Amino acid sequence: MGSEQTISMIQIFGILRKHIRAIAGTTLVVTLAAIFVTFFVMTPKYSATTEILVNRKLSSDMQAAQFQQVQADVQMISTYKDIITSPTVLRDVNKQIRDYPGYPGSMSALKDSLSISNSQNSQVFSVTAKSTDAGTAAAIANETAKVFKKKVVKIMSVNNVSIVSEAETNTKPVSPRKTLNILAGIILGLILGIALAFIRELTDRTVSDESFLTDDLGLTSLGIVSEIDQKDIERTAEHKDLQVPMNNSEFSSRNHRRV
């Protein structure tokens, strides 16, 4: 069993070594394609984040219920996540930023450009906006937070939302991730090259080993005819052409001496 596995590994390495140039070429082509798409095709995107605090202010005679109120505010964040991406909020946001450069294009695309996250048991949640323009990304995040703060008072009949920090313009793009894309291109090219090498080897019906004829097909080996390179044939022919004039000259000189 161990012998069969060793032979199998030797065959695998032999196939890889045989097609090493094709594998390297495929890897290079796919990597160059990934570099071209990353730097010249994909549009950079920028993100900006604003933070919102959910905390209801209690009167002095209700301080004992502070802990229960905090837990209630934390649980309300899930509801606020749905409200902040609802048409009620986004419709007003869309009106304000539709003339900005890098505008997503529609209210549906605006919703897709927003992402909301919060840590467990935290009263603060973040609203992150992405856009092809850094300034527009910050404007979307800030406008969404402002509209949400105003709308939630009417919708929930409660005033417990505060904007902790406004989004700032960040000129460093968050996508595409150049290093990751190039690394993915190298790995994908390597896998594709190896796959093509094995497919080519498995579909190759050329007999390359004498043992296949004798052991697998049961035929008798009468000998091996080695392949002769065309350059060797031409070189041999030129050598013979040079020898013929020399032999003729020797023959003529011998006859001359006899006479």
State whether 66 and 112 are in the same domain.
yes
State whether 95 and 183 are in the same domain.
no
Question: How many domains are contained in the chain?
Answer: 2
Predicted local distance difference test score (pLDDT) of residue 192:
96
Q: Is the pLDDT of residue 5 over 50?
A: no
Predicted local distance difference test score (pLDDT) of residue 95:
92
Which residue is associated with the tokens 């219920």?
Answer: 65
Mean pLDDT of all residues in 17-45? 94
State whether 116 and 193 are in the same domain.
no
- Write the CB contacts of 121 (distance below 8 Å, at least 6 apart in sequence): 74
Task: State how far the Cα of 12 lies from the Cα of 24, in Å rounded to an integer.
Answer: 16
Q: Which amino acid is at 242?
A: L
Which of 75-79, 104-108, 201-205 is most confident? Answer: 104-108
Predicted local distance difference test score (pLDDT) of residue 225:
66
Lowest mean pLDDT among 125-129, 151-155, 212-216: 212-216
Q: State the residue range of the domain holding 25.
A: 12-41+177-203
Q: Confidence class of residue 109 from pLDDT cuts 50, 70 and 90?
A: very high
**Is the peptide bond prior to 104 cis by the omega test (within 30 degrees of 0)?**
no
Last residue of a domain, one of 163, 188, 203: 203
State whether 29 and 72 are in the same domain.
no
Q: Is the pLDDT of residue 88 over 70?
A: yes
Q: Is the pLDDT of residue 244 over 60?
A: no
Q: Confidence class of residue 167 from pLDDT cuts 50, 70 and 90?
A: very high
State whether 49 and 168 are in the same domain.
yes
Answer whether 93's CB lies under 8 Å from 84's CB: no
Predicted local distance difference test score (pLDDT) of residue 236:
72
If one counts every other C-beta atom within 10 angstroms of the C-beta of residue 48, the result is: 24
The tally of CA atoms less than 13 A away on the side-chain side of residue 199 is 8
Kind and range of the H or E element at 146?
helix 134-156
State whether 59 and 144 are in the same domain.
yes
Query: Which tokens is 129 given?
Result: 């906006």
Specify if 7 maps to a domain.
Answer: no
Mean pLDDT of all residues in 35-48? 94
Predicted local distance difference test score (pLDDT) of residue 136:
95
Strand order in the sheet with 114-118: 114-118, 124-131, 46-54, 161-165
Predicted local distance difference test score (pLDDT) of residue 74:
76
Predicted local distance difference test score (pLDDT) of residue 10:
81
State whether 58 and 170 are in the same domain.
yes
Chain-wide mean pLDDT for the chain? 81
Q: SS3 letters for 187-253?
A: HHHHHHHHHHHHHHHHCCCCCCCHHHHHHHCCCCCCCCCCCCCHHHHHHHHHHHHHHHHHHHHHHHH
Specify if 96 maps to a domain.
Answer: yes
State whether 162 and 102 are in the same domain.
yes
Task: State how far the Cα of 56 lies from the Cα of 89, in Å rounded to an integer.
Answer: 21
Backbone φ and ψ for 117, nearest 5 degrees, come out as -145, 155
More confidently predicted of 192 and 70: 192
- Write the CB contacts of 22 (distance below 8 Å, at least 6 apart in sequence): 193, 196, 197, 200
